[in-house]
Chain A
């Protein structure tokens, strides 16, 4: 420790003293310190908030996917390879009659069935009975659906019951409609007991149920569902072909996570002789969608966060440099009482790093608060990855350290002679 030449201990600045000097330097000018930190606060805060909000949003999306889309497989009827139907008619549906039952044998399937939009002539009229006087010639989609499809659609009934297998087998003229259609045609749930009917181009269908929402498939627009066999008898085969509005489709509800596996098996199970006739659509992998959304959302804001950090670094560098120039007298004095250039550099570096760290801490807290507040107002679960959030204050430290490097060097090279000239 002691120098051989002087017998004196080496000059040193203990880490604790360095920290104390740095804190003293910051606390002495609180207003300036806060302003200096602002850029770092904004940058770190934006960084944490962007990552947190993105994760929170993506988490929400993936949750919706898990419960709805990820349990859905759809199969479309592409039609036979050679058109075997007589001219002017449609070929038979590609799906076997017991398509729903077959699908049910596949592990993971909870419900499945065939449905299709019925092709009606233009200007088809929908008229309610009971002298309600309401006529809706606007788009009400008449959909044919098997009982399995009705189950798979996951209807929430507002009144009455869904279509039954009995009604399908016996080709009853019954229908269920959504609440919007019911309101349009003046059929309130309370009047269901009176067996109201809807005439579609003169064919009466008794309304047995009104549903308020459907989890899968059913169009967003007004819809009226009738049994598939009734539809076949009344309107004939649906028109096959991908992209065709009236093609027959199969909707399959699966258990969570089983959709991909079911999608691989369903075509061969339904049509072992001609599986390629069926086109299977399984949901996009939630991870893909998540990362796509994340990338869209986060990209711009992360750039903003980086810019804030850059501004923060420039701010700290500038203030520290000004402080060095302002405090040449102090630097000279410290040299006179035994400080070495490295001690001076260490002090200013510690000061800028502490400023950066404080800014990073405040920024991280702000970012976390923003994410939590946002999630709370949306009733979402806030998702903050500890791997990004916990080290975030260190971004501030790094900014402070880098920003302080040049001013600290300048300080170390300040000549004590110049600094101590007669004031």
Chain B
């Protein structure tokens, strides 16, 4: 049997005080391969904490986080970095593109630290940009890209290593509605193509694209099962 992409087993994160803040109460969650999950909640509810934990940018204070069946809580910085570089692609609200690098160079950056052979990098990066419909803007600088284009470059950067998990943090937060719709359509396509996607958002329209919606409030996860969602 194939292990689920994400398996949380009592995962918790408390920020040391005083007073200690319990940002994520012990949570159990399973996200299988090909799932499309939205995590919704108001600001301060613990969304970002969950994102950072899932993205291996932060370490939990309790419980276990299994990525592809691998217990990440036992791993050191080197292995966690390796997982970040290979298995996880993150899309940020603020794009985080390097301003002086072209679209292509920004995508190439994601292959810099994960041992991708130099010869293979360029082709993979061009393919990823093709996949997000920006094959014609390889040499464009981020300052000349529209918001929607910039976010698609960021998605290409997240995809270039064909990660197990695509983590999106408010992917449409900085976009106008037309660009936002295009980006969400792209995410739908990627999910159809087999990518496991977790979108963290407070936007109901964005969450509506996902097949599962998990609400988070005061650090507590709760899943709406059934037909309707917020």
17 contacts between A and B (CB under 8 A): A6-B82, A10-B78, A11-B82, A11-B114, A12-B115, A14-B118, A16-B118, A28-B100, A332-B96, A335-B81, A336-B96, A338-B84, A340-B78, A340-B81, A420-B57, A420-B94, A423-B94
Instruction: Name the distance in Å between A229's Cβ and chain B's nearest Cβ.
Output: 91
9-residue interface stretch from B69-77, B179-187, B213-221? B69-77
Digitize B84-103: 1 where CB-to-A-CB distance is under 8 Å, 0 elsewhere: 11110010111110101100
Pair A5/B170 contact, Cβ less than 8 Å: no
CB of B58 within 8 A of CB of A11, answer no
The docked-state distance in angstroms from the alpha carbon of A3 to that of B105 is: 28
Is A9's beta carbon under 8 Å from chain B? yes
Nearest CB in chain A to that of B113: its residue = A338
Q: B70 to A11, Cβ gap below 8 A?
A: no
Chain B interface (Cβ < 8 Å from any Cβ of A): 52, 55, 57-58, 70, 74-75, 77-79, 81-87, 90, 92-96, 98, 100-101, 105, 109-110, 112-115, 118, 157, 169-170, 173-174
CB distance from A270 to the nearest CB of B (A): 83
Chain B residues near A1 (CB-CB < 8 A) = 115
CB of A25 to closest CB in B, whole Å: 9
CA distance A16 to B112 in the complex (A): 11
Known contacts A17-B112, A336-B90, A337-B109; is-contact A8 B79 (Cβ 8 Å): yes
A416 within 8 A of B: yes
Interface size on A, residues (CB 8 A): 35
- Judge whether B58 and A420 touch: CB under 8 Å: no
- Pair A422/B93 contact, Cβ less than 8 Å: yes
- Does A167 sit at the interface, judged by CB under 8 A? no
CB pair A10 B93 closer than 8 Å: no
**Which listed residue (B84, B94, B105, B174) contacts A337, Cβ 8 A?**
B84
Q: A125 on the interface (CB 8 Å rule)?
A: no
- A21 close to B112 (CB less than 8 A): yes
Q: Tell whether, in the assembled complex, residue A336 and residue B173 are in contact, meaning their CB atoms are under 8 Å apart.
A: no
Residues from chain A with a CB closer than 8 A to the CB of B92 are 420, 422-423
A334 located at the interface, meaning its Cβ lies under 8 Å from any Cβ of chain B in the complex? yes
Using CB atoms, name the residue of chain B closest to A338. B85
When chains A and B are docked, how far (Å) is the Cα of A13 from the Cα of B85?
A: 12
B81 touches A24 (CB 8 A): no
A228 interfacial contact with B, CB 8 Å: no
Name the residue of chain A whose CB is nearest to the CB of B86. Answer: A8
Given contacts A330-B98, A420-B57, A420-B96, contact A337 B112 (CB under 8 A): yes
Q: How far is the CB of B140 from chain A (nearest CB, A)?
A: 16
Q: Which residues of B contact A29 (CB under 8 A)?
A: 100
Q: Is A178 part of the contact surface with B, judged by Cβ < 8 Å?
A: no
Chain B contacts for A13, CB-based, 8 A: 112-113
B57 touching A416, Cβ below 8 Å: yes
Question: A417 and B75 in contact (CB under 8 A), knowing A11-B115, A337-B85?
Answer: no
**A343 CB–B CB distance under 8 Å:** yes
Tell me which of A3, A28, A343, A417 contacts B113 (CB under 8 A).
Answer: A343
Q: Which A residue sits closest to B49, measured CB to CB?
A: A417
Q: Residue-by-residue, is A387-423 near B (CB-CB < 8 Å gives 1, otherwise 0)?
A: 0000000000000000000000000000011001011
- Among the listed B74, B82, B95, B169, which residue makes an inter-chain contact with A9, where contact means beta carbons less than 8 Å apart? B82
- Report whether A9 and B115 are in contact in the complex, using a CB–CB cutoff of 8 Å: yes
Residues of A within 8 A of B173 (CB): 422
A332 to B118, CA, bound (A): 23
Residue of A nearest to B115 (CB): A9
Smallest CB–CB gap between A344 and chain B, Å?
Answer: 10
User: Which residues 1-41 of A have a CB within 8 angstroms of B?
Assistant: 1, 3, 5-6, 8-14, 16-17, 21, 24, 28-29
The chain B residue with its CB closest to the CB of A336 is B90
Does A256 touch B at the CB level, under 8 Å? no
Interfacial chain A residues near B157, Cβ < 8 Å:
337
Task: Report the separation of the CA atoms of residues A343 and B85 in the bound assembly, to the nearest whole angstrom.
Answer: 13
Q: Are A417 and B52 neighbours in the complex by a CB distance under 8 Å?
A: yes
> Are A6 and B77 touching (Cβ within 8 A)?
no
Interface residues of A in 301-332 (CB under 8 A from B): 329-330, 332
Q: How far is the CB of A323 from chain B (nearest CB, A)?
A: 12
Q: Which of A24, A333, A339, A417 has the most CB of B within 10 A?
A: A333
Chain A min CB distance to B158 (Å)? 9
Enumerate chain A residues within 8 angstroms of B114, measured Cβ to Cβ: 8-9, 11, 337-338
Cα distance, A121 to B70, chains bound together (Å): 115
> How many whole Å from B23's CB to the nearest CB in chain A?
12
